[in-house]
Amino acid sequence: MIVLLPPSEGKSAPTTGSPVDLDALTLPDLTAERRKVLEALATVSALPDALEVLGVGASLAGEVARNVDLEIAPTAPAARVYTGVLYAAADLGGTLTDARAAARLRSVLTVSALWGVVTPTDAIPAYRLSMGTDLPGVGPLARFWRDPLRCLDERAAGDVVVDCRSAAYAAAYRPRGAEHVTVKVLRELDGRRSVVSHNAKHTRGLLTGHLLRRAGEPPTTAAGLLEAATEMVGGALREATLHAGRGGASTLELVV
């Protein structure tokens, strides 16, 4: 099992901890690309038009200014840095002290505009950069990461990839050689179903936490993933169904 997550917009900035060690992050083959994006981000973030280039409002000026010093900023496990709705629901920080869940953390990969990909245990600083950015000196980030992230294919081969990412981050990497299952969340109200956004993040987080903590072995097929998700029906979910697609791709629909 591999679970692909987007990063959260909300991040908790560590106040202690050693600076980021790019060579120590998961998949050190990405070090050159990480350094290129990191240096370009620091340069752009020091410019007068940094907010416009990075596509953020004035309320985030402090976070953009923090990008300038990311190479010397304190770090913490990504599970504690990412603090958005999905991560809160998954309680990835709690998994760091849960023996069963901690053993499975390597299967959770956050696809990041800055780092390419990190696991919950990788030590990173808080940063501000979205995958939809066209970063001067690098270019559109989803396109930039597409070839380097092909290294994930070997890791995913013959396994099931549980894709909880948003469209912008899905554009940076599409699994090959694995059963690729996109997680879709629907809301049922008065007998009608509709796609949701905020609840989708929360439900994908609950699914991620369940996959890490459940007593059974991690699923290795789409059918096994459906079985694991069905364990949540009657609690967080009303229904879980699997819809087959083409080329090993399918969609897991979760109804809340």
The per-residue DSSP string of 154-182 comes to HHHTTSEEEE---HHHHTT----SSEEEE
How far apart (Å, rounded) are the C-alpha atoms in residues 130 and 9? 8
Tens-digit pLDDT string for the chain (256 aa): 999 999 999 899 999 999 999 999 999 999 999 999 999 999 999 999 999 999 999 999 999 999 999 999 999 999 999 999 999 999 998 888 888 788 899 999 999 999 999 999 999 999 999 999 999 999 999 999 999 999 999 999 999 999 999 999 999 999 999 999 999 999 888 778 888 777 899 999 999 999 999 998 999 999 999 999 999 999 999 999 999 988 779 999 999 9
CA proximity to 77, closest of 28, 23, 126, 5: 126
Quote the pLDDT of residue 203.
97
Quote the pLDDT of residue 162.
98
- In the DSSP assignment, the letter for residue 150 is G
How far apart (Å, rounded) are the C-alpha atoms in residues 221 and 180? 9
Quote the pLDDT of residue 101.
81
Q: ∠ CA(227), CA(233), CA(234), 5° rounding? A: 150
Quote the pLDDT of residue 100.
77
First to last CA, the chain: 24
- Decide the pairing of beta strands 2-5 and 108-112: parallel
Query: Domain spans of the chain?
Result: 2-255
Could you read off the pLDDT of 229-249 as tens digits, one per residue?
999 999 999 999 999 988 779
